[in-house]
Amino acid sequence: DIQMTQSPSTLSASVGDRVTITCRASQSISSWLAWYQQRPGKAPKLLIYKASSLESGVPSRFSGSGSGTEFTLTISRLQPDDSATYYCQQYKSHYSFGQGTKLEIK
C-alpha cells in the first residue's frame, strides 16, 4: 500500500499570506496526486488533480507542483474562507489520503 504523509499537521497564517503544504508518498506515484479542501461540516472539494492541474472554478491562488514522491500545495493571498483542512490523495494504486493539514487564518 502507498502511504501518504503531509506536513505540517496544522498551520496558522494571516490574510494575504502565502502558505505551502507538503505531501510525500512512500513510493513514486508519478503525477497521480490530487488535493482537496474540506471546510468544517462539509464534504471535501477537489482543488488540484494530476499534481498541478487546477479544477474548474477553483481560484488561481491555489497551485500544485511536484512529481514522483514529493508534492506541494501553495495557497497565495490567503482569504478568510481558506480556513479548512487540506488533504492530498494518491490515485496511482487504488487510493490513499494524507492525514490532513488544518489551516487556520489568524
Partner 1 sequence: EVQLVESGGALVQPGGSLRLSCAASEFTFSNFWMSWVRQAPGEGLEWVANIKGDGSEKYLVGSVMGRFTISRDNAKNSVYLQMNSLRAEDTAVYYCVREGGGAYFDYWGQGTLVTVSS
Asked if residue 46 binds partner 1 (CB under 8 A), the reply is yes
Choice between 69 and 101, CB closer to partner 1: 101
CA distances from 17 to 6, 33, 43, 68, 81 (A): 20, 25, 25, 28, 13
Helix (H), strand (E), coil (C) string for 54-76: ECCCCCCCEEEEEECCEEEEEEC
Asked if residue 49 binds partner 1 (CB under 8 A), the reply is yes
Selected from 34, 78, 84, 103, the binder of partner 1 by CB under 8 A is: 34
Site residues (vs partner 1, CB under 8 A):
32, 34, 36, 38, 43-46, 49-50, 55, 87, 89, 91, 94-100
